[in-house]
Structure 1
Amino acid sequence: SGLTRVSSTLREQETRVNDLRRQKESLETRKWQLDQLEQHISQRTRTLAQWNEQLRQQLFRIKEHEDLLNRQESIESAYTRLIEARKENEELDRKFRQSVTLERQKTQLDAKVREASQSLLTEHALIQSRIGQLETTSNKLPDLKVALRQTEHHLQHLSEEEEALRQKTVNGQELRVRIHSLETGKGQLEKDITDITEKLHLLLTEHGARCPLCETELGIDRVRLIEDKFTTDKEQKAGSLLSAQNGLTDSRKSLKSIEDEIVQLEKRLKQERATLQGKVSLLAQQTVEAEQAAQQLEQEKENLAVIEERLAVKDFAAAEQALLAEIEAELAGLDYDSGHHEQVRLQLSDLGQYEEPKRKLDEARAQIDPERQAAARAEEARKELHHSLETDNRQKQELLHELTLLPGVLENLAGAETEYNALSTQQEQAQQAIGGIRAKLEHCIELESRKKEREKLLSRAGTEEDIYRELAEAFGKKGIQALLIETALPEIENEANRLLSRMTENRMHVKIDTQRETKKGDTLETLDINIADELGTRNYEMFSGGEAFRINFSIRIALSRLLARRAGAPLPTLIVDEGFGTQDSTGIERLRDAINSIQDDFEKIIVITHIDELRDAFPTRIDVTKTPEGSVIELG
């Protein structure tokens, strides 16, 4: 067939292409060898240059070493002087450091000795100052004693004046007694004159006067006689009264004068005595101090003499002075000359230039033979490498001659590969046609198999559709939900009606309907809350706020109990927050009764309200009062 003929021609052409490819690969290998050889030649050329440079450097170093060896004697002589100067400098440095340390110690000891000397000088000055003060104080002793005797004499004179004061006081007392006697006599005279005046008045105004002794009637003569007698007595008494008044006035003036003198004298004597006593006390104290100063003066003079003697013989800081003498002796024995030290430093600086030549000389001695041997090896390696380069260049020329055949081989290979590719294309087209037919056949077989699988899936999907339709109906409004509501509503109604009956005295009744008939007569799913009372059955929304709250309250409690029971959890606490504002007093009373009626069903009932009537209905309260400073909590 055509496919077999094409395949045979293709195999022949493939053999020809392979032969040409092998020739190409062989020539390319030669080309690679040529590239490697050129790289090798380049590397060896660089290596040869390196060996040439190394040989040049080694010959240069050998020449340097030889020059240093020729100057060996002068370099070693200068280096010897350098070593000696360095040793001498090290010794001088040691002496310098030692002298610095000793000078530092000497300075410290000098400071301590001066401090001790200054301390004695300070003490000497203080003692001199005290001696001056004590001499001043002791020199006052004679004057103080004279002043003390004079002051004591003045005190004795005050005693005499105090005796005169006591006499004046006695005189004043006598005058007071006389004044009292005069005042008593004066009063008696005034009383007598008054009596006489009354008697005269009675005698002259009364008719038929009688004698007070014999009760006989007095005649005119007798009346006149008595009148004259009373008048004479009255005049005498008046004269005595005048004399007593004059004496009393004089005595009072004398007493006032004496009392003034006593007051002034007492004040003056008291002031003078206090002043003199204070002066005596002060003078006595100053005298004692002067006597003590005289005693201390001798002691201070002795102390001053001791200090002056210590200063004269330098009897202070003995240990420091001894150490100072030792340090001075050590400094003298150290024999350190700073000028010589500086000369050695300059010499050391000048000779320092020979240290590097000496190091290079030592290196030249050690390295000149190895350098000569290395130079010989480098020369031998250079020659061998030069010979190898000549061989490589000859091989390079041979490879270049062989590679002249490469362009013809590449041209023949390109034509053979073009013909081979055309034959390969023809073969592939024939194989593709056969493969397309086979693929269609296999596709038909696969479609048949997929058809059978789809039919199985369709049957399975129908079955699952029936199952899901049944589940959707079960979980819809008319399924499990309706069943749960129908079972729960009676329980909610019973519990809500139980509470609502307590709050409304059986007036209201709750009914929850889940179905309602439409106008068309159909049944509609719903959830209506209808309440029956004495006015009939109405919807929840038709009741007032207070009634709606009671209904809402009873349904909420019933629903909470149902949920708690079905959840299997306790319902210990009931919280009622506000909502009582719409209740009248009767409604509040019934609501309170309803809450109290269910108190046994809960561990704790918390009612939050602002209504006083409802607040006061419970025994335990927490009153929260808002103030400008914040809310205040009070337990009631």
Structure 2
Amino acid sequence: MIPLQLTLKNFLSYREATLDFRGLHTACICGANGAGKSSLLEAITWVIWGKTRTATEDDVIHAGVNHVRVDFDFICHQQTYRIIRSRSRGKSSALEFQVVTESGRFRSITAKGMKATQEEITTALKLDYDTFINSAYLRQGRADEFMLRRPSDRKQILADLLKLDRYEQLAVQSKDLAKEYKGQAEQLRQSIVLLEEQLAQEKFTQQELISLETQINQLQQLQEQNSTRLQDLQVIEHQRQAWEQQITVQETQYQNLLQDCDRLSKDLNFLQIQLQQLEQLIAQEPEIVQQYNQLLSWQEQEKDFLAKFATYQQVQKQLTQLEQQLNQQNNELNLQIRQVETRLEAVEQQEQEIEQVLARSSEVEAGLEQLNLHRQRLVELDRIQQYVAPLLQQKNNLQLEIEKTETKLNVKLEQIQQASEQLAEQIAKVPQMRQAVLTIDAQIDELDKKKVYQKRVREKGEERRDFQTTLQANQRVYERQFQELQQKLDLLGIPEAVCPLCERELDEHHRSHVIDKTQKQQKEIQEQIWVIREQLAACERELQLLRKEYKQLDHELTTYDSLQLQIGQLEAQLEATGEIHKQLKNIKAEQEELENLLGTGNYAQELQLDLTQLNNEIKNFNYDEQTHALVRGEVERWRWAEIKQVKIEDAKKRQANLESQKPQLLEQIQSLQQEIKQLHTTSEIQQQIEQVQQTIAQLGYDQTQHQNLLTQLRQAQTWYVRYQELTQAKQQYPQLQIRLQELQQLLELRLQDKTVSQTQIDNYITQREQINDYRQEIKTLEQQIHQRRQQLDELIIQTGRLQQTLVQIKELKNQYTTNCQQLKEIDKNYRIYQELGQAFGKNGIQALMIENILPQLEAETNHILARLTGNQFHVQFLTQKAGKSSSKKTTKLIDTLDILIADARGTRPYETYSGGEAFRINFSIRLALAKLLAQRAGTSLQLLIVDEGFGTQDSEGCERLVAAINAIASDFACILTVTHMPQFKEAFQTRIEVYKSDRGSLLRLSN
């Protein structure tokens, strides 16, 4: 790939910039740190592969804008291409791929979708992103990535660069397939053994089938005989049941007539009793009429009493309201009297309390004298405390610091002890963890085997389901054929039926022949249906067993992932055991040191010395905090006298106030009592009550007479009912006499019909007794036919099962042959994939490819290194070294990738070289790797980019590096170097200067 032109718009630190590579062979991209030098290279990787060092895709967009676009023109394999990649913030990217035609214009070769277009670009370049950054693009800070790894890791890095992981994936796939084929072979061998056992049962099955068919024929003959006899007896029984039915019907009619006669007799008796009762009631007519008239007279009197009672209630209600108003006013006045009396009692109680307070006046004066004395002593002690308090505060602070130091040491000692115990517990668990690793590893191996077996169970279940579907389809076909034959039999059963096939008339002989033939076909199809049903039942049972087994295996495999996680954790813990021993030793030493300090008290010695000096200064003041506290307590103890003195003065003021209130309260009580007396004698409400009482006396209403009259009315209400019954009796009596005559005539007719019905019943019984009763024999025959039918069904099912077994045996023979062929093929595939797994493994093709490429890498590295060092260094790659075996007597070869450097002082490892020398070695190996990777990708390395590779070089090293770049310039179409060192950029004739401005990063090409 040879770059031609790069156009940036809003990419990272650039707003708008264009870099024309035409005419550039070796050039230096220079500028200050952060100016945007590496952003140019990031633009190339972004436009081609869509990848940069940014965290998200939107981060490549310049700050403050929403769209980015990069155009890149380049030549690859003598063809000119253009790639345009753009993106809007928060949206997906757009990608276009173009090629120059013969006319000099660009033509789009963009595929459908970004992914397909990206594949087209990678195919055209024959270079993917990983190969590019490990070959043509020597990225900043990654020049020594290969060299700084351990010798054992370098081989893996080289394999990753060469993309040998594809062979590792093939090796894993081959091993998995080999393991799968091995499991399939084991399953097939077990299946073949089972098939051989099942095929051995064919002879016994055929003999049992012949025996069952003989039993079926015998039972069918007996069944036909019993069926004929049963039909004859059922005809006779039908006639007998017809007479029984006639007898039942006639007996039912006779019972209905008998019930009608009884009912009519009861109705006649009831009607006669009603007539007698009505005659008695009509005879009492004079007495009932007299009592009814008296009732009407009492009702008139009760109306007069009701009118007076209404007026009486109204006046009585008015009297009640007036009395309530009088009581309410009386209660209010009494309440006011009680409130004034309560205030009077409170005044008297307060006078007693004031007298008690004034009685302690002499005691309070003595307490005030003691309070003044102690206050004077407290003022003196407070003055001394002002000088001693700072010293006491310093003393407390020192004691607190000493205690904190001691606490910290104790806490640290406890933490160390806990850590020591935890480490000891971890070390004690090492044997258990090792045993657990072995146990879990064995469990994982067992679960791997179950995984293979589970797959075989699933395949077998799918095979059984397919077979079940085939059986169900066959069953539907046979059932349809059975229905068609049944329709033919139905047609043949019709008189004068024609042949179902040729539509000709059939005589009796041909009809019988066609029916027999059709029944025979129907029987054969029925037998096939029974066989299929038995096969379906067997297939369903087998599927249920397979489902159960698959579910059980699935349940057992649920622990597989957790076991993998456990074994990884245990192995990591075992690897950390050596570090735990070192930590425990250091902790023990630190614990002994802390215990010694706490035991001797040799900590915070400066603080303890300051504390001793402060104690001496405090003694000179002769100040005692306890005495100070006692005096302060005495002052607080005698302060009650001061409080009591205030209370005595307040009591004297309150006593004068109470003496003025007491006469006023007594005068209020006398006034309220006089108002109550006037309320009950001369008030307006009392006069209204007296007027209402006179109105009630003039009304003349007697409540006792009214109540007696109501009692007489309630007792006489029965005569009102009797009078109504008398009226109804006069109306009903003629109607009941007519109804009595009708019932007598109807009863005579029903008695005549009953006699006729009894005669018919006797005649039917005589006819029935002339026919014999065969019900018991019919029941016996039906039971025998049913039992024999069950036996036939069981035998037919057994026959179907045996026939199915023979069919299965026939299928098993084919399956046996197929399994043997499959086993042979699977064994062959197992051997092939086993060998492929070894061939694709690290010790196979991968090791061979590395061994083949290392001589090329070594030769190319030394060729470049000779230019950089003036033939003073020589690189050698060693892939194996000697190591001791477990027996410690013999040696074995260990895979590695050591790098030995030979110079004028001899041969020594790469790690012993300084920064400048190490970089020149790194650069040589890195450049040689770049060439080899480009060759393996199928393209030539025409572009070389070195990003910040000169920081560790001295002036002579820089000159040699520049000379080396110029020396290898003929191998590349374009070489770009990136640096921020001013003295280094002068070594290149062509410079691409990058600098920052208000419009973002800008480019300037200078020679």
Same fold (TM over 0.5): no
Give the number of the structure with larger relative contact order, counting CA–CA contacts within 8 Å between residues 6 or more apart. 2
Relative to the length of structure 1, the TM-score reads: 0.35
Q: Which structure dedicates a bigger proportion of its chain to helix?
A: 1
Relative to the length of structure 2, the TM-score reads: 0.24
- Structure with max Cα Rg: 1
